[in-house]
Amino acid sequence: MTDLSLLQLAMLLGGVALTAILAGILAGLLGVGGGIVLVPVLFWILSLTHFPPELSMHMAVATSLATIIFTSISSARAHNKRGSVDRSLLRLWAPGIVLGAFSGGLAAKYIDASGLKAIFGTIALLVSINMATPKTLVISEHLPRSKAVNSVISYLTGLFSALMGIGGGTLSVPLLSGFSVEIRRAVGTASAFGFMIAVPAVLGFIYSGLGVEGRPPLSLGYVNLIAAGIILPFTVGFAPVGAALAHNLDTVWIKRAFAVFLGITAIRMLLSVFG
């Protein structure tokens, strides 16, 4: 697949490991599931190794989702111990999130790499702007009363999270905050949404990638087991660290710094599509 030297390969694997550590901490700290970091970094690393460009984004998204299955469990357990997982909200949004995530995984079969990059870049840019805004956007003083409206919101959250390769927090935390859900409860509950998104989305990406030519060894559909195996120990191990920090730190400046990183990443992703 590549002509990388041992030194180059070691540097790439080291970069993946460091990224996984950061992703794990952010998963617990901000409820973003880690995928918002993993996807662009995995994509750029695959690009450096001259991986087939039509597969790079699909492999990055699907492999990120596979790691989120386990990262979200670690993060959710840590938040649940602190009483910040809202079980009634989980029951309300779970059906829509699961269906949306599975739909996203299946839809990947019909969306090319540029389409996935455009979706990731556009939504990531909007999220970065929202995170950098000092005042949280308030949509309502409470969640919608209608179950149908909640179903639509949760379905779209699951759908776009799956297509971006991210946990539920990146989209659901701003949404829940907009509906005046207390931030720690929003982050804790979003960490559990990550599992509900990742499992059906991964199943969809596995099915969508079956038989596709050019995939690296040890791949299930679009999920590469080698990359997932490198990432997992770090994301799972460091998610509780982030969760502990979330309950002891003022995360305002951390969020703003991350918003800058995310904004730059999103713009680079969009430029690669439209540039």
Quick check: is 172 in a domain? yes
Token representation of residue 39: 């996807």
Please say whether the beta carbons of 144 and 150 come within 8 A. yes
Quick check: is 55 in a domain? yes
Quick check: is 178 in a domain? yes
Q: Residue 162: CB partners within 8 Å, gap ≥ 6? A: 65, 100, 101, 102, 103, 104, 105, 108, 197, 200, 201, 204
Quick check: is 253 in a domain? yes
pTM of the entire predicted model: 0.84
Instruction: Please write the tens of the pLDDT for every residue from 56-88.
Output: 899 999 999 998 888 788 778 888 888 888 999
Provide the number of structural domains found in the chain.
1
Quick check: is 79 in a domain? yes
Instruction: Please write the tens of the pLDDT for every residue from 94-115.
Output: 999 999 999 999 999 899 999 9
Domain span at residue 189 reads: 6-274
Largest distance between two CA atoms of the chain: 58
Quick check: is 1 in a domain? no
Instruction: Please write the tens of the pLDDT for every residue from 246-255.
Output: 777 776 777 7
Quick check: is 78 in a domain? yes
Quick check: is 174 in a domain? yes
